[in-house]
Amino acid sequence: MVPSPHISAPLGFPDLKLSVPYADAIRYAQFRLLMLAKGELKSFCEQHELPYTSIVGLKNSSLKREEPRLLQRLLRSLAVDTEVIRIPPNSQSPRFLFPTVEALTTFQQQLKCFDSGNPPLPESEAPTGGAESPTP
């Protein structure tokens, strides 16, 4: 008998140190959506088969309730692989679990950058801090 490709590994208890709260995940997604060029959101939603109106609501913080599955789909479309978990099981707000420490660290660094309002620029674009010196 050939095993089904849809059978997954047994679920173990998640490493909660690799999780972030819903509030961090939605804040990150909002920052990433704001990075899209004006007019690109609709085509992004079409390309990733995301509901445009709901994504606009998520972006503008106008959703009436938390939408963890929609947020998870959006994060995956932004190359941020997570799983939605509820710890404790009766909690109101879900958490987003990252597969590795590296993925979580990258997420946290990017979120910190977004929160600070000062994204690191490549060396060639970084301001020098003073006026340009005249050429001889």
- For residue 11, CA distances in Å to 7, 15, 120 come to 11, 12, 38
Burial class (CB in 10 A: 0-12, 13-18, 19+), 75: buried
Asked if residue 132 is part of any domain, the answer here is no
pTM recorded for the entire structure: 0.76
Asked if residue 129 is part of any domain, the answer here is no
Asked if residue 99 is part of any domain, the answer here is yes
Asked if residue 128 is part of any domain, the answer here is no
122 phi and psi, to 5 degrees? -60, 155
Total domain count, the chain? 1
Asked if residue 40 is part of any domain, the answer here is yes
Whole-angstrom distance, CA of residue 123 vs CA of residue 35: 20
The tens place of each residue's pLDDT in the chain, 136 residues long, gives 555 555 555 566 777 889 999 999 999 999 999 998 988 999 999 999 999 999 999 999 999 999 999 999 999 999 999 999 987 777 788 999 999 999 999 999 999 988 888 766 565 454 555 444 444 4
Asked if residue 22 is part of any domain, the answer here is yes
Query: Could you list the residue range(s) of the whole structural domain that residue 75 is in?
Result: 16-116
Asked if residue 25 is part of any domain, the answer here is yes
Whole-angstrom distance, CA of residue 10 vs CA of residue 19: 19
